[in-house]
Structure 1
Amino acid sequence: MLLTHRTVTADDATAIALLNCLVREVCAPDRQVWRDGGRLVLRLPRAGVRLRAGLARPPVGPTFRLVPPVEERRGDAWEPAGWERIADLAAGELELATGRANPEFPAQVRDSRTALDAILAARAGVPDDPDPYLASERSLVAGHRFHPSPKARQGAPADWLPYAPEARARFRARWLAVRADAVAEGGDAGAFAALDAPPVPPGYRPLPVHPWQFALLAARPVLRRALADGVVRDLGAGGPLVYPTSSVRTVHVPDADLFLKFSLDVRITNCVRKNAWYELEGAVLLDGLLRPVFAGLDADLLAEPAYRTVSLADPRLYEGFGTIVRQGVRGLPGTPLLAAALADPYGTALAGLPALASPDGAARWWDAYVRLTLRPVLAAYLDHGVVLEPHLQNVLMTVDDDGMPVRAVFRDLEGTKLTAGRWDLRGVPDAVRAAVSYDAERGWNRVVYCLFVNHLAEVAAAVADLHPALDRDLWRTVRRALTGSGYADRPGVRALLAGVPFPAKANLRARWGRDADRAAGYVPTLNPL
């Protein structure tokens, strides 16, 4: 299975990501996008500026393939437009559209571009991961195609490259020995026992934390006092090697076949990646509630059976050292591959699967992929009131030796929610209940966006990159699967089949408004069903 990359530069990837956002969130809603031969032209409706880029092929559905060169209309001529110019134009348009400025925006775009450049340099000459699964997790060089700063992360590259999945980093966790009376934990505490932790003194328990996070919190007075008093002992780096996955802060521990979801007080794209106390408790709560649900679904959910942290007189430490254990992948049928790697336009993971070598094979592959992904998500929501978050980085697809899909695997309970009113959550703390719940409309929008726009549309586009003649047939396959899913009579599904626009998450507008990811809105986008 090939997991190399097509040629990509930081400048081009940054420019194209900005254009993707402008098309989806600014220009298309105002009908200011049109094709001109082999190019796509977009007009910023308030600034009156026209931009254009090449089209790899005609767009089908809510996604498209823009390619360099990117140009701006000046007078009677088209002139080259670099990523900095596009970022400035986007900022000007959004200020006119919203009536407020955001001086942080250009710096975030610049930081993302700088990070991408550092990632590309760090990958050069470094051998790929021999494990196809790990290679897929660590292949997302350019990141989210519809985000203005997909690789933005806090700190200089020297701070984070040692922990960057895209740089194929590996490291050992920082281990703390925490006195038993200063430990807070939930779920099955034995889940941590599978880790080859350094020995701890009697009466203490081992706690793995991210080395970067330890460095960020080491100066906290309460931690320094706990270390001086022996309540917490710093054991240093040790234990098995861990491999950061696509989320950066979640690492795979192959020796134990587990994942550790670390807390990390660092902003990556939209969010500071901290395990809030209610998210620690919510993970264990959802783990118990969802196991019976998935027992009846033709899919798997990676369990999150336990968390552990320190209980000291500093909430920052409680949340900052909170670590969640997640089930591994060794028992899954077939070889798991990250869906985002299969959809990556700059990667070749999909082209490396023998099953897609011919158009007929690709059509069969897509039919299996859609059935395995679509029905469990709909069943979870419509039958059980469970809002899965099946975006590309939250889904693994296991494949057989030819690369044919075998089973969909969902993960990350932070993004999984329960439909309010469908579950008895009496006795659950208010903050935890709020964190794990969505109202029905919000839940349905999240399901439709993640499943159709973020996921299936992007994988379909990657299949069409290999076999362009299949492009429209791919969405006919989705329609057949939706019609035959057993849910075609439900109002929301009927609306989709009738062509109601898909909701697309507005990442550009969320960044401009400095909104939390949970508060991001949606814009309507084309429904090809």
Structure 2
Amino acid sequence: MCDTPAEREIAEELGGVRPELTSAYLAALPAARAAVLARLWRALVHEPLPWIAARARRSDGLSLRLTDGRRLHGPPSDPWATGTAVAVVELDGVPYDHPAALMTALRAPGGAPFAAELDHSVASLALSRTTPPPAGPPTEPWEWEQRSPEGHPYHPTCRSRPGFSAAEQLAYAPEHRPVVGLRLAPVTGATVRGAWPAQWLEGDTVLLPVHPWQAEHVLGSRPVVPGPPAHPLLSLRTLALDRRVHVKTALSARLTSQVRDISPYSVDHALATSELAARVADRLGGRLHIARTLAAAGAGTPELAAVLRESPYAYAGTDEQVVPVAELSGHLASHGPREQLARITEFARLALGVCLELLDLGVALEAHGQNLLAVVDRQGRPRRLVYRDLADIRISPARLARRGFPAPSISGRLLDDDPVVLRRKVLSCLVTGALGPLAGSTAELGALLGAATRDLPPTPDLLALRTEELPVKALTLMRLSPAGDRWALLPNPSPGNPER
């Protein structure tokens, strides 16, 4: 039964475009509500939300007191648990089984638009779960990115896609495994960095690849022509043109927390950032490859731009595959529990070693489950890493200089020497976006961090990882108070933490 506007809207649209999916969609709604409610409850319990005055453990769960005196009650919440479900959260004794209804009842500042996004998250997650999983292993490399319907493991708006109809989600979302026909927008006087493909040049006019959703909903009457077919990847707005080239499109829709686009700053600095990151990564002796930026172009606005990147799949050798870390658990599913743990520990040791060493050299990666990929052999052992999408990394000129690198030919927001900023960039993404989901619980994450860091070179950044509270993005607080990154500091389960 559909209880909310987004749920009803998707159901009605399915009745017109894919009626055979309606029953599966309706059957998936209760579990989707419980999955999103679990993510929201995690945020309420662990994020520094200003309208929550106190939290207390009780024998039957957790009790949260709001600043207006009302009380929330729900089950225990492990901040690192994944795949969890919460059936009900009570507000002053009234049960709520839908995250959007709970958010509305809380009457938190900024809560109304967030409640609508939670509604979309539930409906889209249920729709994602209507597509049957692939019958066998991938035959094309991008198919690794199209296997999971779940979205971000901790974000309450893990599948929020406001503005996307049911038909558009089925046509464009990676979990439905479509082929997307891109559009090309002619732009005269475009900013171009790198060697733009000759087939997309017509005199002084540049043809920019445009996502079809963007062409219809944002660019309006601007002329576009049919472009090449492409395969959507985990980030939805990035697509594989083939096995060699990926294109990141400007898709001005709010997906999870942020409106996604490509700023003129990103276009202007794309190649220089890529060259710098690859040069620094070369110091790591082949343990990390950077999927290089090949070219970038834009019309001077965030809504009309594109970045062409080297495919990370190019770094697979004979009998190897390149798997996004978000899909690594699925890749290891055929292994026994002991072997899975061994492979995950090997990956954690490799990823932490690489990211901390690169940070010491002066480059802080956003190494979460989408951006970080593992090159694995036939037995599932991680051999090397590949990193893609450099648009929001941080670069420390002081650390680069200390390690003998020339001053970066980059200016602006990518540069930062603050060790707290740099560590938060690396640790929040790597632990929250990669290691936490692979571990699946606080206890398992503590064991994983202990095993993975045991033999790493001692640095101030490693000491912080072992002993300080773990920084994670306060995703719900950021959505309710959109003023840049906001943080929650979680207890550190590492065996090296003296307060553990």
TM-score (norm 1): 0.76
Distance (whole Å) between structure 2 residues aligned to residue 458 and residue 363 of structure 1: 13
Picking from 23, 36, 39, the partner of 1:17 is: 39
Q: Which segment is superposed worse, 474-483 or 142-151?
A: 474-483
Give CA deviations for 1:93-131 in whole Å, capped at 9, x if unaligned. Answer: xx3xxxx4443222121122222233334x258878843
Pairing 1:43–2:64 present: yes
> Contact between 2:364 and 2:394, CA under 8 Å: does it hold in 1?
yes
- The 1:493/1:202 distance shift into structure 2, 3 A limit, reads closer
Amino acid aligned to 2:85: V
Instruction: Find the counterpart in structure 2 of residue 525 from structure 1.
Output: 490
- State the Cα distance separating 1:456 from its structure 2 match: 1.1
Distance (whole Å) between structure 2 residues aligned to residue 476 and residue 186 of structure 1: 45
Amino acid aligned to 1:34: R
Instruction: Find the counterpart in structure 2 of residue 286 from structure 1.
Output: 273
Amino acid aligned to 1:173: L
> Contact between 2:399 and 2:417, CA under 8 Å: does it hold in 1?
no
Distance (whole Å) between structure 1 residues aligned to residue 417 and residue 195 of structure 2: 27
Instruction: Find the counterpart in structure 2 of residue 467 from structure 1.
Output: none
Q: Secondary structure at the match of 1:390?
A: coil
Ranges in structure 2 where 5+ consecutive residues have no aligned partner: 1-27, 495-500
Count of residues in correspondence between the two structures: 455
- State the Cα distance separating 1:160 from its structure 2 match: 4.2
Give CA deviations for 1:478-515 in whole Å, capped at 9, x if unaligned. Answer: 224324211x2x334224323x2111210111111133
- The 1:114/1:456 distance shift into structure 2, 3 A limit, reads same
> Contact between 2:332 and 2:380, CA under 8 Å: does it hold in 1?
no
- State the Cα distance separating 1:73 from its structure 2 match: 7.2
5 Å matches for 1:86-485? 86-89=102-105, 91-92=106-107, 95=108, 100-121=109-130, 123-124=131-132, 130-131=138-139, 133-157=141-165, 158-176=167-185, 182-189=189-196, 192=197, 197=199, 205-219=206-220, 223=222, 234=224, 236-239=225-228, 241-254=229-242, 256-297=243-284, 298-310=287-299, 315-316=300-301, 319-328=302-311, 329-333=313-317, 334-342=320-328, 349-350=330-331, 352-354=333-335, 357-359=336-338, 361-382=339-360, 384-422=361-399, 432-437=411-416, 439-461=418-440, 472=443, 475-485=446-456
Q: Say which structure, 1 or 2, has more relative contact order (CA 8 Å, 6+ apart).
A: 1
- The 1:66/1:331 distance shift into structure 2, 3 A limit, reads closer
Amino acid aligned to 1:524: L
Pairing 1:507–2:475 present: yes
> Contact between 1:51 and 1:70, CA under 8 Å: does it hold in 2?
no
Q: Secondary structure at the match of 1:352?
A: coil
> Contact between 2:345 and 2:451, CA under 8 Å: does it hold in 1?
no
Ranges in structure 1 where 5+ consecutive residues have no aligned partner: 1-6, 228-233, 344-348, 465-470
Distance (whole Å) between structure 1 residues aligned to residue 83 and residue 208 of structure 2: 45
> Contact between 1:13 and 1:142, CA under 8 Å: does it hold in 2?
no
Alignment root-mean-square deviation, CA: 3.3
> Contact between 2:394 and 2:425, CA under 8 Å: does it hold in 1?
no
> Contact between 2:237 and 2:251, CA under 8 Å: does it hold in 1?
yes
Give CA deviations for 1:18-59 in whole Å, capped at 9, x if unaligned. Answer: 1121122159997725374xx74342443542432478xxx5
> Contact between 1:282 and 1:435, CA under 8 Å: does it hold in 2?
no
Instruction: Find the counterpart in structure 2 of residue 67 from structure 1.
Output: 85
Q: Secondary structure at the match of 1:320?
A: coil
Distance (whole Å) between structure 2 residues aligned to residue 416 and residue 25 of structure 1: 24
Q: Secondary structure at the match of 2:47?
A: helix
- The 1:373/1:353 distance shift into structure 2, 3 A limit, reads farther
Distance (whole Å) between structure 1 residues aligned to residue 408 and residue 387 of structure 2: 27
Instruction: Find the counterpart in structure 2 of residue 494 from structure 1.
Output: 463
- The 1:281/1:491 distance shift into structure 2, 3 A limit, reads same
Amino acid aligned to 2:98: G
- State the Cα distance separating 1:246 from its structure 2 match: 1.1
> Contact between 2:400 and 2:407, CA under 8 Å: does it hold in 1?
no
- State the Cα distance separating 1:370 from its structure 2 match: 1.2
Kindly report structure 1 stretches of 4+ aligned residues shifted beyond 6 Å.
27-31, 125-129, 424-427
Distance (whole Å) between structure 2 residues aligned to residue 51 and residue 128 of structure 1: 43
Q: Which segment is superposed worse, 398-407 or 502-511?
A: 398-407
Q: Secondary structure at the match of 2:293?
A: coil
Q: Secondary structure at the match of 1:51?
A: strand
Distance (whole Å) between structure 1 residues aligned to residue 42 and residue 386 of structure 2: 28
> Contact between 1:54 and 1:66, CA under 8 Å: does it hold in 2?
no
Q: Secondary structure at the match of 2:87?
A: strand
Amino acid aligned to 2:265: Y
Amino acid aligned to 1:505: K
- The 1:428/1:108 distance shift into structure 2, 3 A limit, reads same
Distance (whole Å) between structure 2 residues aligned to residue 438 and residue 253 of structure 1: 37
Q: Secondary structure at the match of 1:248?
A: coil
TM-score (norm 2): 0.80
